[in-house]
Amino acid sequence: MNQTKKLLIIGFVWPEPNSSAAGGRMMQLIAVFKEDGFEVTFASPALDSDFMVDLSVFGVEKKSIELNNSSFDDFIIQLNPDVVLFDRFMIEEQFGWRVAENCPKAIRVLDTEDLHCLRTARQKAFKENRIFELQDLLSEEVAKREIASVLRCDLSLIISEFEMKILNNIFKINCRLLFYLPFLTDEMDESDLLNLPLFEQRESFVFIGNFLHEPNWNTVQHLKESIWPLIRKEFPEAVLQVYGAYPSQKVLQLHQPKNGFFIMGRASDANEIVKKAKVVLAPIRFGAGLKGKLLEAMQCGTPSLTTEIGAEAMHADLPWNGFITNDIELFAKQAVTLYQDKNLWEQSQKNGIAIVNECYQKDKFASILVNTVNDLMNDSENHRLHNFMGSLLQHHTLKSTKYMSKWIEAKNKN
């Protein structure tokens, strides 16, 4: 093992913590490994963006890499990482075989972000106007790819306890290959509310979310067409501000100030906007994982309304920091009540703090994660010996993906 532990993260995109919850989670992971003494290199085939974080500020080396190019092999042999973390299964598909071939001793960790197959299957069921059933996952094409990726890796980070159950019960994945890791936050105290704007100092409803993420676009459509008219009927002065990175023209066309519906575009500081809002609205109809926007609302002392899918696996058995309902009329009525009832609003704030402290404490998860990874580094052979299906998939994938990639590389040179 190297004297200095090295972690290579291969990113689907460069982290944008101000644009998406995925970017924020990636920065949390970097912080955890840095605190444990890892040297961290972040590589990605993505183009630079105007909103990507400056990784050098966090002591992380940045490296641009190419898909289907053997230059990656030279890079990883020279770096010789102890641990490689793949950002989503698509990245493991592209680079996992190269890591296994060139650095076979490196521990391979997959950060699923959320279960893509769950999000895809739910979206399909929604568009086909039928009830989603867990058995749908078994015929989902994305599931075959995603579960194969989980099996090929030594450890997969799973953000939702509901998704842990799916992997255990539906796909029969060995618990040794999975690690439950929600968003990581610092502890809060009710005295923290004193540093936040008071009920009387806040105004407007707010929605915030990256529009490259289909569930967010669908949520805004749902708000505009079905829920906002009901809220305005009961509360004519109501204002909704919709923020989000990468709004398309179809999003911008929903801007309708005369009806109190404002498309605001990218938030320069999402935290500040949510702190000043009175209530967060998130009637999410399909999706997976945990909803960063709802955790952020709790941290900002801002009550929220969402659906059962929105709140899924987010609050244990604790009371929500607002309301959870799938009924649009009840959603609208409760939104107005929460906006106008100071006592209810302040109790919802306290509920949010209890959820943050119970479910997302960094101290509960960070040290266990690094201990698990360090144990794997010391006992990888034995661990892999007990993951026969993973070894089998690695063997066949290394052959098939390797030669497909080499064919593409040769084709690109001609």
What pLDDT sits at residue 383?
A: 93
For 367, the token pair is 């040290």
Is residue 164 a part of any domain in this protein? yes
Q: Which of 341, 359, 377 is the last residue of a domain?
A: 359
Query: What DSSP string runs through 211-264?
Result: TTSHHHHHHHHHIIIIIHHHHHHH-TT--EEEE-SS--HHHHTT-BGGGTEEEE
Residues 27, 55: contact at Cβ < 8 Å?
Answer: no
Is residue 225 a part of any domain in this protein? yes
How far is residue 205 CA from its own chain's centroid?
A: 23
What are phi and psi for residue 156, nearest 5 degrees?
Answer: -120, 135
Residues 6+ apart with CB under 8 A from 256: 224
Alpha-carbon distance of 185 to 183, in angstroms, equals: 7
Q: How many domains does the chain have?
A: 2
Residues 6+ apart with CB under 8 A from 17: 23, 24, 26, 27, 53
Domain hosting residue 297, numbered range: 190-359
Same domain, 173 and 33: yes
**Residue 240 forms beta bridges with which residues?**
205, 261
Same domain, 235 and 297: yes
Same domain, 324 and 375: no
Is residue 129 a part of any domain in this protein? yes
Same domain, 280 and 351: yes
Kindly state the DSSP code that residue 107 receives in the 8-state scheme. E
Alpha-carbon distance of 150 to 111, in angstroms, equals: 9
Alpha-carbon distance of 336 to 314, in angstroms, equals: 23
Same domain, 238 and 324: yes
Q: Which of 359, 377, 397 is the last residue of a domain?
A: 359
Residues 216, 286: contact at Cβ < 8 Å?
Answer: no
Is residue 49 a part of any domain in this protein? yes
The pLDDT profile of the chain, 414 residues, written as one tens digit per residue, is 447 999 999 999 999 998 889 999 999 999 999 999 999 999 999 999 999 999 999 999 999 999 999 999 999 999 999 999 999 999 999 999 999 999 999 999 999 999 999 999 999 999 999 999 999 999 999 999 999 999 999 999 999 999 999 999 999 999 999 999 999 999 999 899 989 999 999 999 999 999 999 999 999 999 999 999 999 999 999 999 999 999 999 999 999 999 999 999 999 899 999 999 999 999 999 999 999 999 999 999 999 999 999 999 999 999 999 999 999 999 999 999 999 999 999 999 999 999 999 999 999 999 999 999 999 999 999 999 899 888 888 877 666 667 677 777 777 877
Pairing of strands 178-180, 155-158: parallel
Is residue 1 a part of any domain in this protein? no
Same domain, 13 and 137: yes
Is residue 300 a part of any domain in this protein? yes
Is residue 206 a part of any domain in this protein? yes
Is residue 397 a part of any domain in this protein? yes
Helix, strand, coil percentages for the chain (3-state, nearest 5) = 55, 15, 35
What pLDDT sits at residue 1?
A: 44
Alpha-carbon distance of 82 to 2, in angstroms, equals: 7
Same domain, 381 and 283: no
Q: Which of 359, 375, 393 is the last residue of a domain?
A: 359
Same domain, 234 and 253: yes
Same domain, 143 and 202: no
Residue found under tokens 């796909």: 171
For 92, the token pair is 């493991």
Instruction: Please name the residue ranges forming H helices in 80-201.
Output: 89-102, 116-127, 141-152, 161-169
Single-letter amino acid code for the residue at 91: I
- Alpha carbons within 13 angstroms on the beta-carbon side of residue 358 total 15
Question: In 3D, which of 185, 113, 111, 191 has the Cα closest to residue 363?
Answer: 185
Residues 91, 22: contact at Cβ < 8 Å?
Answer: no
Pairing of strands 83-87, 6-10: parallel
Same domain, 170 and 198: no
Same domain, 262 and 370: no
Same domain, 86 and 10: yes
Residues 300, 306: contact at Cβ < 8 Å?
Answer: no
What is the CATH number for 33?
3.40.50.2000
